[in-house]
A and B are shown apart, each in its own frame.
Chain A
Amino acid sequence: MRIIKNTVLWVIFSFSMLIFIIEAWTLLQIYNENAWINRLLSGHDIAIEKVVKGSPEVRLARAVYLREKGRYDEALATLNLILDQGSPSFQAKTRYNLGNHYLTQTVERAEQMAINDALPLAALAKQAYRQALALDSQFWDAKYNLEVAMRIVPEMDRITIKDDAKENSKTRLWTTVPGFPRGLP
């Protein structure tokens, strides 16, 4: 009986110590990763090895950093890596940032009058915002930007219709993108 009691106590003690060591290690990791996130958000890069072994939050922070530095392709690649990772609210953020990425590029292309390039990007932006809202319907920034994206497209459609009849036939391929007539998104 005494041996059984002692064995049970030893098992509890060993298991507790094991959990303690694991959680202490986890806490250290969390502390490090939070420091990396803060560094990235304050506009300083971190070593790529840290990003590779880091959590999705670190990657999202690096995507924000890369976009702020104008490194769009790297930001897009980083976002695509973490699209399906994390909690639903985290995934909503990833998709929202992806939408922002496409929306920024849509506006840039539109300003360069590259309408045919801008339309598919706008469609991708809307799709990303819709996915973000499907995951978190109270994501107000996503609502706002989706509405912005929907406002931008009809204007571009109108410009395309006026300017180039030949191009117009191409843009009709994208008429699944809602936008016209007036009053519709």
Chain B
Amino acid sequence: MKSSPFLHCKDSDFSRQIVKYARSILVYSLFLLVACSEGLPPPIERFEFETPKPFGYVIGDKIRHRIVIETRSGIQLEPTSLPAKGDLNRWLSIDQITVRPASKHLTEIQLTYQIFYAPLEVKMLTIPGFKLRFKQGDQAIEQVVPEWSFTVSPIHELAVRKEEGNTYRRPDATPTLISSENAWRLLSISLASGLFSGLFLAFRYGYFVSFPRRSFFSRANSRLKKVQPNELGLALVIVHQAFNQLNHKPLFKHRLSEFYRLRPEFKEIGPELEWFFNFSNDYFFGGNPSAGADEWAALKRLCQRCVELERG
């Protein structure tokens, strides 16, 4: 049976149209995919590998590498992908590894290697590279840290000469003398502090009688101790003089309120002061020149209280 040419032609146009649409869809999909993928930043946005000079090393030297990595948010470094501290091989060890998050997306890794290679001549060595692994959910991302080559030099001539005596090796290390700097510093500080606090205490206890500023009653007290019981007038004069010196001018009973303004600490012995001025007035102007043991004791007590107030 022969198929109709018309029908055949129709089928052919239809399939051509389908192919055309499919192509357009494919092109658009590809375009969208490319556009979307360009919009997303790469998982590792910045990778810096900072190394020191690659020459001039000798046995025992330390080499520091710094790696700075900036990642997209949500990407975390897997600490297990870092090389382990300790011996990497028989001539290279990792002395220190520091991982420091500099900011939210920025990680700084510092690796300190130590070399224990004794070359016979200047030799090139290579610190092996490794892969840093990051993860974002189930997705794993890798960043290669490249290997790094450097030269190491000998510090000793080829032959080990023993004939010249002990020069084949360096001598024993002798201990340095123990430093007394710290002890001297602490000793000075404690001495200064002790001296200051001791002097201040002595001042407060009135041991500096000749100190001009605040020792009027201390001196008066000392003088009172030498006064005989029959010299009450002299005792009263001594106490009056102390008050006058403290007040910078003669002090009378009617000026006590003014005195309290200048020396408020003396307000607490107001009644005793009242008694003193009344008693003094009676003694000198009231024709009552005699005094008993009670008055003497009260006068001494007053002077002692004044000494205490004077010291603060």
Q: Say whether A and B bind each other.
A: yes
Chain A residues near B (Cβ < 8 Å):
2, 5-6, 9-10, 12-13, 15-17, 19-20, 23-24, 26-27, 30-31, 33-34, 37-38, 41, 55-58, 60-61, 64, 67, 90, 93, 96-97, 100, 103-104, 107, 130, 133-134, 137, 139-148, 150-152, 155, 176, 178, 182-185
Please give, as numbers and ranges, the residues of chain B lying within 8 Å of A6 by CB-CB distance.
Answer: 201, 204
A93 B190 Cβ-Cβ under 8 A: no
Task: In the complex, identify which listed stretch (B179-187, B247-255, B296-304) lies at the interface while the others stay far away.
Answer: B179-187
Q: Is the CB of A133 within 8 A of B60?
A: yes
Name 26 interchain pairs, CB-CB below 8 A, sorted by A.
Answer: A16-B191, A16-B197, A17-B194, A19-B190, A23-B183, A23-B186, A26-B183, A30-B179, A30-B180, A55-B178, A60-B173, A60-B175, A96-B172, A97-B172, A133-B60, A133-B114, A134-B93, A134-B114, A139-B60, A143-B60, A144-B169, A151-B158, A178-B90, A183-B123, A184-B91, A185-B59
> Complex: how many Å from CA A147 to CA B116?
9
B62 close to chain A: CB less than 8 A: yes
- Majority-rule SS of B interface residues: loop
- Chain B residue with minimal CB distance to A19? B190
* B contact residues, range: 35 or more
Residue B58 lies at the interface, judged by CB distance under 8 Å to chain A: yes
Residues of B contacting A34 in the complex (Cβ-Cβ under 8 angstroms): 177-178
A156 smallest CB distance to B (angstroms):
11
Give Cα A37 to B177, complex, Å: 7
Q: How far is the CA of A97 from the CA of B172 in the complex (A)?
A: 5
Chain A CB within 10 Å — which of B60, B117, B308 has the most?
B60
Closest to A86 in B: B175
- Contact (Cβ within 8 A) B118 A61: no
Q: Is B267 an interface residue (CB 8 A)?
A: no
| Cα separation A145 to B312 with both chains bound (whole Å) | 71
Do most interface residues of chain A lie in helix, strand or loop, or is the interface mixed? helix
8 other contacts beyond A133-B116, A183-B121, A185-B91, with CB at 8 A cut-off?
A6-B204, A19-B189, A27-B187, A30-B183, A55-B178, A57-B175, A61-B175, A142-B60
Q: What A residues does B91 contact at CB under 8 A?
A: 178, 184-185
User: Once the chains bind, are B186 and A148 in contact (CB under 8 Å)?
Assistant: no
The interface residues of chain A lying within 8 Å CB-to-CB of B162 are 107
Knowing A16-B193, A19-B190, A100-B169, say if A144 contacts B119 (CB, 8 Å).
no
- Give A139 Cβ to nearest chain B Cβ, in Å: 7
Residue of A nearest to B185 (CB): A23
* Nearest CB of B to A61, in Å: 5
Residues of B12-67 at the interface with A, using a CB-CB cut-off of 8 Å, are 58-62
Q: How many Å lie between the Cα of A16 and that of B116 in the bound state?
A: 51
Contact partner, B156, options A13, A56, A142, A151, Cβ 8 Å: A151
B182 to chain A, nearest CB (A): 9
Known: A27-B187, A137-B114, A144-B155. A13 touches B119 (CB 8 A): no
Are A176's CB and B312's CB within 8 A? no
Q: Which residue of B lies closest to A153 (CB)?
A: B118
**A147 with B187, Cβ < 8 A, contacts A12-B197, A61-B175 known:** no
Mark B139-178 against chain A: 1 for CB-CB distance below 8 A, else 0. Answer: 0000000000000001110101010000011111111111
Whether A30 and B178, one on each chain, are in contact in the complex, defined by CB atoms closer than 8 angstroms, is yes
A13 lies within 8 A of B198 (CB): yes
**Complex: A37 Cα to B36 Cα, angstroms:** 76
Complex contacts, A176 vs chain B, CB 8 Å: 90
Given contacts A12-B193, A23-B183, A146-B60, contact A5 B172 (CB under 8 A): no
Does B272 sit at the interface, judged by CB under 8 A?
Answer: no
Does A23 lie within 8 Å of B119, measured CB to CB?
no
| Residues of chain A within 8 A of B100, CB atoms compared | none
Q: How far is the CB of B208 from chain A (nearest CB, A)?
A: 15
Assess whether B120 is interfacial by the CB under 8 Å rule.
Answer: yes
Within 8 Å by CB of B190, from A23, A33, A140, A152, lies: A23
Q: How far is the CA of A141 from the CA of B186 in the complex (A)?
A: 35
Could you tell me the distance between the alpha carbons of A12 and B183 in the complex, rounded to whole angstroms?
A: 19
Residues of B within 8 A of A64 (CB): 172, 174-175
The 9 closest A-B pairs by CB, nearest first: A16-B194, A185-B118, A19-B190, A141-B170, A150-B118, A133-B60, A13-B197, A23-B187, A93-B173
Q: Please give, as numbers and ranges, the residues of chain A lying within 8 Å of B160 by CB-CB distance.
A: 148, 151-152, 155
CB contact between B197 and one of A9, A60, A182 (< 8 Å): that residue: A9
